[in-house]
């Protein structure tokens, strides 16, 4: 079968056994891979109400049909599970090369179930799978564990691993990928920790069969040319990295600070992408087959490492009142080493500060000390390790947690980008900018400029972006390619690689199907309209100054419009007619069809 290997590797850590399951062609065509395949698997294999940190949870690592081809930025991996932070279905997506290495072992996906009695790591190669003891690695940070596992895997291997935060079941623990990238959000690291799985090493040499090698090669060539000609993907991102956005959002008065009490930060220039390029930057790096190269390797006087990215600069900087780039970079390195999601770490610390627990993050050592306490659940760190929602509820002030469905919000104040507010509220994995990023239409003017302070008419744009994100996460390709490429490129390449006809509009339907199945999963878990919401600060406290002065997010009318456009009922449930059109009727009624 072109594009896809027909096998899924299922590892049961409780019994220490492996089995290969067939991937039916119809499932592959319908769900593509990555996030789509992960959602499909979880919907059909997880019982309602299981404990995300229990043996019953599954963790699905999945590549996509384009992995192993010449497609740009296609080495990524998607990982799906039921999140211990949100309780929703949750996929996280990371650069590096794990996706393509897993695929070159002959598997579209690797599913981890059960729980090992003692720490282990998993070694995968074509025809050989083994569980290896990892007692000696338990307690090691991600740098040390990566070195060890990469050594065990040999040249050409790829590694995912957790640090102490995952081992200690911090609800927002991340998974390090190839030592430089992270499956950051949603606590996938804690799921691995709960299973006693320190890491996975994959190394293989099985090629991806391509239906039309010449045609696919030409489309890839064309895509690379477009990426190299576009000023965003050939200049802004390579030169300044993701942090190029700091000044843009700050000037627009949509850069939150101090747990969203302010909408701009006076120290923004000092911690911007421009400042980073002129101070700590050592060199750029790129993920597997990526012509963009937005990664940064940086150095402070005491440490060096990857990043900080735009979101981390905000979460560990502006949101905590820190305007020293060196402090932010070292906090970011430490989060990466310990295996912590930087956005949730910063969001939880900002919440703690407003609760009066901790405040003086700018004082030398305070921030680093707190990050360590979280990862090892020491002292106050044990409470912080539960995330901002549980922390604020414990102290009787739930409104001070800036989160949606338990996931801490990222670096866009939705009072200055109203559509982003709707995107946060309706995101199936909680407060996140990667399900639909409204920066394009609301500030940059792509694909068209809309009034960022208006609420009417935003639902349609958010929905299209949610579908596009779901498709890219299922393909599995980097979203940054979409700054230069469109559905037409992805559909043509997918057709040439798989031999199946995909039109751009077919991709939108696939995205919509993934979105609705995620919704069905969450509804089954008890989520409802009341969970499609925002912290009250954003819906009832007007911005105090700057361009957005006086603005709030008018969520309710936007949500009504959104449900109507989605053909969901007033409770946010997909209508039978919608499910029928998406081929989800059997699934929606508890059945088992594709």
Partner 1 sequence: MKLNINLFATLRKFAPPAARNGEFTLEVPKGVTIRELLRLCHLPEQSVTVVMVNGMVAPLGAPIEDEAQISIFPPLAGG
Instruction: Provide the binding-site residues for partner 1, judged by CB under 8 A.
Output: 230-232, 235-237, 239-245, 247-248, 251-253, 269, 273-274, 294, 310-311, 433-434, 437, 439-440, 443-446, 449, 452, 479-480, 483, 546-548
Q: Quote the CA–CA distance of 174 and 165 in Å, as a whole number.
A: 8
Question: Whole-number minimum distance, CB 465 to partner 1, in Å?
Answer: 12
Question: Whole-number minimum distance, CB 93 to partner 1, in Å?
Answer: 12
Question: Whole-number minimum distance, CB 412 to partner 1, in Å?
Answer: 9
Question: Whole-number minimum distance, CB 237 to partner 1, in Å?
Answer: 7
Give the ranges where 287-405 is alpha helix by DSSP (H): 310-316, 325-338, 342-354, 366-376, 381-384, 388-394
Give the ranges where 89-163 is alpha helix by DSSP (H): 98-103, 142-153
Binning the chain into helix, strand and coil, the percentages to the nearest 5 are 45, 15, 45
Transcribe 385-424 into DSSP letters: TT-HHHHHHHTT-GGG--EETTEEP-S--TTSSHHHHHHH
354 vs 442, beta carbon nearer partner 1? 442
409 within 8 A of 425, measured Cβ to Cβ: no
SS3 category, 284 = strand
17 within 8 A of 76, measured Cβ to Cβ: no
Question: Whole-number minimum distance, CB 165 to partner 1, in Å?
Answer: 23
CA distances from 255 to 103, 249, 318, 483 (A): 39, 5, 8, 21
Tell me the sheet residues that pair with 263. Answer: none
Q: CB-based contacts of 525: which residues, under 8 Å, 6+ apart? A: 48, 49, 82, 87, 88
152 vs 270, beta carbon nearer partner 1? 270
Question: Whole-number minimum distance, CB 357 to partner 1, in Å?
Answer: 30
84 vs 410, beta carbon nearer partner 1? 410
Q: Give the residue from 408, 407, 437 showing the smallest Cα distance to 422.
A: 437
Count of C-beta atoms within a 10 Å radius of residue 15: 10
Question: Whole-number minimum distance, CB 83 to partner 1, in Å?
Answer: 20
Count of C-beta atoms within a 10 Å radius of residue 499: 14
Question: Whole-number minimum distance, CB 554 to partner 1, in Å?
Answer: 19
80 vs 481, beta carbon nearer partner 1? 481
548 burial via Cβ count (<10 Å: 0-12, 13-18, 19+) = buried
Question: Whole-number minimum distance, CB 326 to partner 1, in Å?
Answer: 18
Q: CB-based contacts of 250: which residues, under 8 Å, 6+ apart? A: 264, 265, 268, 318
159 vs 436, beta carbon nearer partner 1? 436
240 vs 521, beta carbon nearer partner 1? 240
């Amino acid at each position: 079968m072109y594009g896809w290997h027909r096998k899924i590797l299922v590892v049961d850590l409780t019994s220490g056994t492996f089995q290969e399951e067939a991937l039916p062609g119809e499932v592959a065509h319908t769900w593509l891979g990555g996030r789509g395949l992960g959602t499909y698997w979880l919907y059909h294999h997880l019982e309602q109400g299981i404990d995300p940190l229990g043996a019953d949870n599954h963790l699905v690592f999945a590549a996509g049909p384009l992995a192993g081809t010449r497609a740009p930025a296609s080495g990524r991996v998607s990982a799906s599970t039921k999140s211990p932070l949100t309780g929703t279905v949750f996929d996280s997506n990371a650069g590096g090369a794990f996706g393509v290495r897993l695929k070159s072992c002959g598997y579209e996906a690797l599913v981890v179930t059960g729980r090992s009695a003692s720490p282990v790591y998993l070694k995968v190669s074509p025809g050989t799978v083994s569980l290896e003891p990892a007692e000696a690695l338990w307690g090691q940070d991600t740098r040390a564990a990566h070195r060890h596992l990469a050594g065990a895997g040999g040249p050409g291997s790829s590694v995912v691993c957790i640090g102490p935060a995952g081992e200690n079941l911090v609800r927002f623990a991340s998974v390090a990928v190839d030592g430089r990238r992270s499956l950051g959000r949603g606590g996938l690291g804690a799921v691995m920790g709960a299973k006693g799985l320190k890491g996975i090493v994959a190394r293989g040499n099985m090629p991806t069969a391509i239906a039309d090698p010449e045609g696919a090669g030409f489309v890839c060539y064309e895509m690379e040319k477009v990426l190299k000609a576009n000023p965003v993907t050939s200049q802004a991102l390579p030169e300044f990295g993701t942090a190029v956005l700091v000044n843009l959002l700050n000037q627009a008065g949509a850069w939150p600070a101090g747990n969203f009490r302010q909408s701009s930060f006076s120290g923004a220039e000092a911690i911007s992408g421009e400042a980073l390029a002129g101070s700590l930057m050592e060199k750029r790096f790129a993920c597997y087959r990526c012509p963009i190269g937005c990664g940064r390797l940086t150095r402070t006087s005491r440490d060096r490492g990857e990043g900080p990215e735009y979101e981390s600069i905000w979460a560990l900087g502006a949101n905590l009142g820190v305007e020293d780039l060196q402090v932010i970079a070292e906090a970011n390195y430490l989060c990466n080493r310990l295996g912590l999601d930087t956005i949730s770490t910063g969001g939880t610390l900002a919440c703690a500060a407003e609760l009066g627990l901790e405040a003086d993050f700018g004082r030398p050592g305070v921030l680093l000390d707190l990050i360590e306490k979280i990862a090892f659940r020491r002292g106050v760190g044990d409470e912080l390790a539960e995330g901002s929602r549980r922390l604020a509820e414990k102290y009787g002030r739930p409104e001070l947690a800036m989160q949606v469905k338990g996931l801490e919000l990222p670096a866009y104040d939705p009072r200055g980008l109203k559509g982003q507010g709707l995107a946060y509220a309706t995101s199936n994995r909680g407060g996140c900018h990667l399900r639909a990023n409204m920066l394009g239409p609301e500030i940059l003017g792509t694909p068209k400029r809309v009034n960022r302070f208006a609420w009417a008419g935003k639902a349609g744009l958010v929905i299209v972006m949610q579908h596009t994100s779901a498709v890219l996460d299922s393909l599995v390709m980097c979203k940054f390619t979409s700054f230069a490429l469109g559905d037409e490129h992805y559909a043509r390449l997918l057709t040439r690689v798989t031999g199946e006809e995909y039109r751009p509009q077919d991709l939108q339907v696939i995205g919509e199907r993934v979105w609705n199945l995620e919704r069905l999963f969450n509804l089954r878990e008890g989520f409802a309209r009341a969970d499609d919401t925002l912290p009250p600060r954003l819906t009832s406290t007007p911005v105090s100054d700057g361009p957005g002065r006086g603005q709030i997010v008018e969520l309710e009318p936007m949500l009504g419009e959104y449900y109507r456009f989605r053909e969901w009922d007033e409770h946010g449930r997909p209508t039978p007619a919608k499910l029928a059109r998406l081929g989800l009727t059997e699934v929606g009624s508890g059945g088992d069809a594709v």
